[in-house]
């Protein structure tokens, strides 16, 4: 329904003036006796009167206000929980009955001219698509589903929501803590009485271990209704039983753990399955098994600390690095022992080169090679030989003088991240002894710590790292790490800041630079079977600048040996490739490309696991649904009471919603008015022409 209203800022008497002007103009033009009939003369005068009057009226700028009313039918949203937990606690006949009742409710409401929309966990679907095959969602997020309804129907005529669910959610917040501006009628599915069941609820294990080690796999088993009964838990790999544990439950609601110690005897990602033997009268066996994927790495990063003499700093560095299982640390005092390994990933030279040349000979092969080196100076250091050995900083000392300086972080350093709290704490640590003299940084060197004298932060370096591609190196121009650790423990009862700085520096120095010109890798080492498998692709030219538009072939090898082949092009706008969800297992991949006339190949592996969230809890939570209905002004129903809900919604249908919109604009902007004036003027001119007046 539309309503129009004519507005003007002038007095209504101006309309009479406009009419008078039109009448006078028409009378003056057509009062003389004409050659045409009196009727034609009157019609022509009328045309002239209307045109002139309208033009005069438009000159005073009239406005037209149009009010449009639209009527929106009410909508009822049926939010259906289509997760797997519904089918776990209801047989196929029961699920079919639920679907049939939802369809009948939608049909009844449709006859009352109420719009009906079906909202699932993943989104909306038409009523015709409802079926038992929809109940495959592996996670339940009721808050997200109701939030989507609230967002989609904001400022619309939403009469209410019918939430059909068992009340079990395993992702997101509880819906009872969210404000909703519509009534929610809940229908409680499932059984609130716990069933007799054994549930392998969780597995705890390290995702990475080292070849030759033994690692624990801990299974957490929840038992309902099996008090005093024994159970058997097996650890298998490739269908072969590795170990078996027997447990017993103390009461009808008990939690027990079974721990397996597994030898890491093969490299790569190993797939283990922990199985819980089923019991008579057990409600379901779908939650009796879980998978564990463990990556077995061959070897740790080997770190050698070679010192000219015993020193407390050696113990400090050892204590920091032993916290990280990725490092195999070895310390040797020159002249008292020899390194055990032929090659190391990082060598720490403590006060070597030294004044007495006791450690210089032992360190020569590392100084002449390409092994990354971390130099630590001290009172026994030979600064002349150090200037030749290091490529990070050159020291010009003034005799044997030393200076005591505090550490101060370089705010512009960004090769690796140090937390702000640790930065502040390091700057409270005691001073260290450094050579007194001048310091000159070499190219590719970056300062981590500056020397601070009193409250003045100087431009002299204390800890420097060199990023030369031939060999990375670092130098700490002072001794006293052990004092730093003691003082930090005194302040915080931990060694987090100092040990963190040592570990991050060692990680940076020992990390190997990737020289491959083709890099294709999954964005994570582990996916779940409901998500897309995403690969990142990078290609480089001879000077390791990124290049694009390279055709890349990708083969994904399934656990059964089946190969899926794909090809894509890495564009500058997007270099990622995605493929559909894969079933659980360990997958290998092989990527190849011809980059600037060179064949490049990359291989690797990733794992896919299933969530199994829906099988963890199968006891319906009708208390949550009652509370949610009460909070929003709705009503709680059982599935047998579907008819009561149908009658309530159909017998008292909500009213249509009226929305009014108002549009005000100048009358002269109406296009049809222009054509009316043009038609009248053209008609007058045509008739006069036909009658021979022109």
Domain membership flag for residue 656: no
pLDDT tens digits for 442-468?
888 999 999 999 888 999 999 999 988
CA distance 207 to 209: 7
Regarding whether 307 and 292 lie in a shared domain, the answer is no
**In terms of Cα–Cα distance, which of 304, 307, 359 is closest to 479?**
307
What pLDDT is recorded for position 128? 82
* Helix H or strand E encompassing 374: strand 373-376
CA distance 250 to 581: 41
| Burial tier of 503 (Cβ tally within 10 Å: 0-12, 13-18, 19+) | middle
- Specify the pTM: 0.57
CATH number of the domain encompassing residue 152: 3.40.50.410
Cα dihedral sign for 309, 312, 313, 315?
Answer: positive
Contact 156, 180 (CB under 8 A): no
- Give the 3-state DSSP-derived string for 582-641, with helices as H, strands as E and coil as C: CCCEEEEEEEEEEECCEEEEEEEEEEEECCCHHHCCCCCCHHHHHHHHHHHCCCEECHHH
Looking up tokens 């009248």 gives 680
Domain membership flag for residue 276: yes
Regarding whether 175 and 123 lie in a shared domain, the answer is yes
Regarding whether 33 and 155 lie in a shared domain, the answer is no
Regarding whether 598 and 539 lie in a shared domain, the answer is yes
Q: In the numeric block, which tokens belong to residue 23?
A: 């009448």
Contact 613, 161 (CB under 8 A): no
Beta-strand relationship, 115-119 and 75-80: parallel
Domain membership flag for residue 572: yes
Q: In the numeric block, which tokens belong to residue 388?
A: 């030749």
Regarding whether 678 and 589 lie in a shared domain, the answer is no
Give the angle subtended at the CA of 359 by the CAs of 358 and 361, to the nearest 5°.
90
Regarding whether 443 and 402 lie in a shared domain, the answer is yes
Q: In the numeric block, which tokens belong to residue 415?
A: 């090769």
CA distance 154 to 348: 64
| Burial tier of 501 (Cβ tally within 10 Å: 0-12, 13-18, 19+) | buried
**In terms of Cα–Cα distance, which of 660, 677, 675, 670 is closest to 63?**
670
CA distance 549 to 575: 9
Domain membership flag for residue 250: yes
Boundary-marking domain end, from 281, 297, 313: 297
Identify the three-state secondary structure at position 431: coil
Number of Cβ atoms within 10 Å of the Cβ of 357: 13
Identify the three-state secondary structure at position 152: helix
What pLDDT is recorded for position 565? 94
Q: HSE-up of 61 (CA within 13 Å, CB side)?
A: 2
Q: In the numeric block, which tokens belong to residue 561?
A: 């040996």
Q: In the numeric block, which tokens belong to residue 75?
A: 């909508």
What pLDDT is recorded for position 349? 94
| Burial tier of 355 (Cβ tally within 10 Å: 0-12, 13-18, 19+) | middle
Regarding whether 292 and 224 lie in a shared domain, the answer is yes
CA torsion, points 568, 570, 574, 580, in degrees to nearest 10?
Answer: 30
| Burial tier of 562 (Cβ tally within 10 Å: 0-12, 13-18, 19+) | exposed
Name the strands in the sheet holding 636-637, side by side, starting at the edge strand that comes first in the sequence.
Answer: 124-125, 115-119, 75-80, 158-165, 184-188, 636-637
Beta-strand relationship, 240-248 and 230-237: antiparallel
Contact 120, 134 (CB under 8 A): yes
Give the angle subtended at the CA of 260 by the CAs of 255 and 261, to the nearest 5°.
145
CA distance 215 to 217: 7
Regarding whether 58 and 86 lie in a shared domain, the answer is no
For residue 248, the cross-strand partners are 230
Name residues whose C-beta falls within 8 Å of residue 239's C-beta, 6 or more positions apart in sequence: none
Contact 348, 305 (CB under 8 A): yes
Number of Cβ atoms within 10 Å of the Cβ of 522: 18
Q: Which domain holds residue 681?
A: 2-69+663-690
Preceding amide of 353 cis, omega within 30:
yes
Give the angle subtended at the CA of 448 by the CAs of 443 and 453, to the nearest 5°.
110
Domain membership flag for residue 36: yes
Regarding whether 470 and 382 lie in a shared domain, the answer is yes
Q: In the numeric block, which tokens belong to residue 315?
A: 């113990």
Question: In whole angstroms, what separates CA 629 from the centre of its chain?
Answer: 32
Contact 184, 271 (CB under 8 A): no
Regarding whether 445 and 336 lie in a shared domain, the answer is yes
Q: How many domains does the chain have?
A: 5
What pLDDT is recorded for position 2? 60
Phi and psi for 468 in degrees, rounded to 5?
-55, 130
DSSP one-letter string for 474-497: EEE-SB-HHHHHHHHHHHHSS-HH
Regarding whether 603 and 672 lie in a shared domain, the answer is no
Boundary-marking domain end, from 491, 510, 529: 510
**In terms of Cα–Cα distance, which of 474, 554, 563 is closest to 519?**
554
Phi and psi for 181 in degrees, rounded to 5?
-100, 30
CA distance 646 to 112: 11
Domain membership flag for residue 492: yes
Q: In the numeric block, which tokens belong to residue 518?
A: 């083709």
CA torsion, points 179, 180, 184, 190, in degrees to nearest 10?
Answer: -50
Regarding whether 556 and 594 lie in a shared domain, the answer is yes
CA distance 138 to 583: 13
CA distance 505 to 474: 8
CATH number of the domain encompassing residue 414: 3.40.50.880
CA distance 405 to 484: 13
- C-alpha distances in Å from residue 421, one per residue of 317, 417, 430, 496, 497: 21, 12, 17, 10, 8
Question: In whole angstroms, what separates CA 338 from the centre of its chain?
Answer: 50
Boundary-marking domain end, from 246, 262, 297: 297
CA distance 592 to 602: 6
Domain membership flag for residue 658: no
- C-alpha distances in Å from residue 616, one per residue of 151, 169, 253, 259, 619: 30, 11, 15, 20, 9
10-residue mean pLDDT profile of the chain (694 residues): values are 70 84 83 76 85 85 78 89 83 85 89 89 86 82 92 88 91 88 92 85 84 88 88 92 92 91 88 90 84 82 91 93 84 89 91 86 87 91 88 84 89 84 87 89 90 89 88 90 92 90 89 80 84 90 84 93 92 85 89 91 88 78 93 92 88 75 78 84 81 66
Domain membership flag for residue 657: no
| Burial tier of 570 (Cβ tally within 10 Å: 0-12, 13-18, 19+) | buried
């Amino acid at each position: 329904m539309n309503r129009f209203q004519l507005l003007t800022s002038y007095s209504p008497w101006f309309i009479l003036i406009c009419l008078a002007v039109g009448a006078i103009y028409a009378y003056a033009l057509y009062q003389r006796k004409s050659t045409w009939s009196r009727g034609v003369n009157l019609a022509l005068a009328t045309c002239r009167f209307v045109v002139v009057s309208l033009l005069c009226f438009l000159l005073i700028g009239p406005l037209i206000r149009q009010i449009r009313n639209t009527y929106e039918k009410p909508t009822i949203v049926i939010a259906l929980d289509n997760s797997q937990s519904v089918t776990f606690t209801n047989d196929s006949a029961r699920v079919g009955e639920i679907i049939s009742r939802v369809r009948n409710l939608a049909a009844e409401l449709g006859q009352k001219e109420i719009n009906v929309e079906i909202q699932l966990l993943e989104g909306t679907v038409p009523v015709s698509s409802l079926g038992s095959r929809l109940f495959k969602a592996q996670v339940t997020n009721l808050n997200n589903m109701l939030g989507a309804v609230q967002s989609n129907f904001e400022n619309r005529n939403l009469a209410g929501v019918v939430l059909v669910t068992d009340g079990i959610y395993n992702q997101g917040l509880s819906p009872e803590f969210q404000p909703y501006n519509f009534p929610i009628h809940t229908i409680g599915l499932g059984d609130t009485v716990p069933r007799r069941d054994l549930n392998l609820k969780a597995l705890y294990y390290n995702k990475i271990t080292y070849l030759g080690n033994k690692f624990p796999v801990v299974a957490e088993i929840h038992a309902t209704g099996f008090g005093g009964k024994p159970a058997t838990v097996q650890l298998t790999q490739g269908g072969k039983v590795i170990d078996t544990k027997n447990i017993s439950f103390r009461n009808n609601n008990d939690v027990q753990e079974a721990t397996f110690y597994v030898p890491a005897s093969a490299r790569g990602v190993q797939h283990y399955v922990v199985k819980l033997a089923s019991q008579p009268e057990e409600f379901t066996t779908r939650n009796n098994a879980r998978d564990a994927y463990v990556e077995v790495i061959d070897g740790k990063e080997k770190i050698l600390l070679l010192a000219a003499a015993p020193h407390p700093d050696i113990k400090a560095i050892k204590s920091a690095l032993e916290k990280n299982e990725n490092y195999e640390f070895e310390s040797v005092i020159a002249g008292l022992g020899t390194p055990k390994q032929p090659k190391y990933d990082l060598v720490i030279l403590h006060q070597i080169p030294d004044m007495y040349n006791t450690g210089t000979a032992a360190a020569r092969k590392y100084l002449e090679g390409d092994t990354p080196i971390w130099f630590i100076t001290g009172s026994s250091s030979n600064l002349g030989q150090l200037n030749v050995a290091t490529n990070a900083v050159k020291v010009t000392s003034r005799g044997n003088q030393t200076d005591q300086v505090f550490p101060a972080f370089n705010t512009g350093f960004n090769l690796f991240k140090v937390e702000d709290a640790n930065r502040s704490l390091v700057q409270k640590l005691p001073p260290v002894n450094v050579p007194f003299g001048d310091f000159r940084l070499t190219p590719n060197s970056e300062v981590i710590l500056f020397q601070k004298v009193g409250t003045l932060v100087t431009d002299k370096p204390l800890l420097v790292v060199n990023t030369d591609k031939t060999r990375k190196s670092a130098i700490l121009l002072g001794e006293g790490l052990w004092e730093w650790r003691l003082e930090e423990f005194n302040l915080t009862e931990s060694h987090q800041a100092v040990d963190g700085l040592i570990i991050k520096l060692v990680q940076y120095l020992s990390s190997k630079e990737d020289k491959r010109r083709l890099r294709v890798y999954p964005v994570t080492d582990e996916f779940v079977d409901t998500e897309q498998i995403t690969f990142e692709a990078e290609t480089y030219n001879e000077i390791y600048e990124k290049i694009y538009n390279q055709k890349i072939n990708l083969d994904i090898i399934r656990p059964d040996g089946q190969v899926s082949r794909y090809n894509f092009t890495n564009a500058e706008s997007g270099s990622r490739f995605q493929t559909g969800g894969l079933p659980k297992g360990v997958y290998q991949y092989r990527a190849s490309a011809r980059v600037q006339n060179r064949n490049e190949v990359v291989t690797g592996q990733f794992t896919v696991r299933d969530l199994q969230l829906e099988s963890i809890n199968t006891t319906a939570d009708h208390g949550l649904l009652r509370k949610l209905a009460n909070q929003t002004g709705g009503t709680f129903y059982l599935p047998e009471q579907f008819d009561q809900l149908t009658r309530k919604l159909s017998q008292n249908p909500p009213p249509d919603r009226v929305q009014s919109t108002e549009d005000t604009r100048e009358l002269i902007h109406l296009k049809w008015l222009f054509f009316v004036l043009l038609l009248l003027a053209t008609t007058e001119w045509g008739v006069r022409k036909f009658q021979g007046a022109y």
